[in-house]
Amino acid sequence: MELKTKINAEDGKQDLTITREFDLPVELLFKAHTEPELIEQWMSNPYATAKMLKFEAKKHGSYQQESKDSNGKVVFKANGTFHEFIPNEKITRTFEMENAQLGVQLELITFEKLTDTTSKLTTHVIYESGTLRDRQLKMPFAQGLSMAHDRMQEIMGKLK
Amino acid sequence: MQSNSYTMNLRRDVFQAIADPTRRAILTLVASQVMTAGAIASNFDTARPTISKHLQILTECKLLVQEQKGREVYYNLNPDKMKEIADFVEPFRKMWDDRFNKLETVLKNLKKDGK
């Protein structure tokens, strides 16, 4: 299956760009990034439920979020500050995943109107170093493994 | 502990191998044709021992393969190892793709409910 999301991570650089076109008007796409209840919905997956602990959608505002697995164990915790908040155009924020040793990233998220019903999202992520960026790129391998383990545990738990 | 093993694996890691601009230039050169160490070095102002060191690292990482032809050693690009680099971002891309697909579904449902 073809993935709609494109990632551009050039060799030896300390940044990466994630792009995706949506079959949605730009206003709605922006809304998905500014309303905590909506963010919680799309950031959740079958193995972890996302919760926004704090979300001040404005310049100088900050946010805090966490995800818990079905046993209530916190599996992901992140925070950051908004530096720019231009409705339907751009969000500039810092992002720090807690206890991940990936440092703090600068995220420049741009919202672009393509047609009345389609839009494009571009997230430019800048890391403290190329090494940290590459470590981040390797993480889904580890997470995928851990998810598989969780699921196995879940299934085995039912058999007990 | 983790950072220790990371350091120790530096030279074996293809991503460390391509982090250096000279090594990337070498890969680009060898991609177009099989070359000897001398022919590769003649494309750079860098001292010959430095180029040899880069070739050694690229060979240890298996991005380059050595081939003996008579008295000369030729360097070949290893496409399988290069593919490993291309495959690298796939799980990360998949994670974001899943997330954005969800976003699209959530908003489409919202649009439906709102109307």
Q: Output A2 or B67, whichever has higher pLDDT.
A: B67
A4 shares contact with chain B (CB less than 8 Å): yes
Q: How far is CA A91 from CA A105, A114, B91, in A?
A: 14, 18, 25
What distances in angstroms separate CA B34 from CA A67, B30, B37, B54, one per listed residue? 51, 6, 10, 16
Task: State the pLDDT confidence band at A145, using cuts at 50, 70 and 90.
Answer: low
Domain ranges of chain A: 15-159
Mean pLDDT computed over A114-133: 95
| Percent share of chain A, pLDDT over 90 | 64
- Following DSSP, what letter does each residue of A65-86 receive, concatenated? EEEE-TTS-EEEEEEEEEEEEE
What was the pLDDT predicted at A106? 98
Q: Which of B102, B103, B91, B81 is nearest to B31 (CA)?
A: B81
Region of poorest pLDDT, from A22-36, B52-66, B83-97: B83-97
pLDDT value at residue A124: 97
Inform me whether the pLDDT recorded for A60 exceeds 90: yes
Confidence of residue A115 (pLDDT cuts 50, 70, 90): very high
Q: Is pLDDT of B5 > 50? A: no
Phi, psi (degrees; rounded to nearest 5) at B77:
-85, 140
pLDDT digits (tens, 9 = 90+) for B23-58: 988 998 898 889 999 999 999 999 999 999 999 999
Q: Which residues of A touch B84 (CB under 8 A)?
A: none
Contact A120, A90 (CB under 8 A): no
Answer yes or no: do B92 and A7 touch at CB < 8 A: yes
Chain B closest-CA separation from residue A160 CA (Å): 32
From A137's Cα to the closest Cα of chain B, the distance in A is 6
Q: Determine, for residues B92 and A130 on separate chains, whether the beta-carbon distance falls below 8 Å.
A: no
Whether residue B11 has pLDDT greater than 70: no
Cβ pair A147, A47 in contact under 8 A: yes
CB contact (8 A) between residue B110 and residue A141: no
* Amino acid found at B69: K
Residue A160, pLDDT score: 45
CATH topology of domain B1-77: Arc Repressor Mutant, subunit A (1.10.10)
pLDDT score, position B4: 38
The nearest alpha carbon in chain B to A41 belongs to B106
Touching check for A139 and chain B: CB below 8 Å?
A: yes
Count CB pairs under 8 A between chains A and B.
78
Return the higher-pLDDT residue of A98 and B84.
A98
Q: Which of A139, A137, A114 is nearest to A20 (CA)?
A: A114
Flag if A11 and B24 touch (Cβ within 8 Å). yes
Question: Where does the pLDDT of residue B94 fall: very low under 50, low under 70, confident under 90, or very high at 90 and above?
Answer: confident
pLDDT one-digit tens code per residue, B20-31 = 889 988 998 898
The DSSP secondary structure of A34-69, one letter per residue, reads: T-HHHHHHHH-BTTBEEEEEEE--STT-EEEEEEE-
* A15-159: in CATH 3.90.1150.10: no
Residue A117 contacts B, CB cutoff 8 Å: no
pLDDT at B95: 86
Using only C-alpha atoms, what is the Rg of chain A? 17
Residues of chain B found within 8 Å of residue A18, distances taken between Cβ atoms:
96
Question: The complex's ipTM?
Answer: 0.76
Tell me whether A65 touches chain B (CB under 8 Å). no
A100–B contact, CB cutoff 8 A: no
Distance in Å, alpha carbon of B103 to nearest chain A alpha carbon: 5
- Tokens representing residue A66 in the block: 């966490």
Comparing alpha-carbon positions, the chain B residue that sits nearest to A13 is B19
**Tokens 């058999």 label which residue?**
A159
CB contact under 8 A, A6 and B100: no
Q: What number of helices (H) and strands (E) belong to chain B?
A: 7, 3
* Location of structure tokens 């389609």: A118
Q: Determine the residue among A1, A6, A7, A37 to mutate to test chain B binding: the one whose Cβ has the most chain B Cβ atoms within 10 Å.
A: A7
- The per-residue pLDDT for A141 is 60
A89 DSSP assignment: T
Instruction: Specify whether the CB–CB gap between A105 and A95 falls below 8 A.
Output: yes
Per-chain mean pLDDT for chain A: 87
Q: How confident is residue A157, by pLDDT bands cut at 50, 70 and 90?
A: low
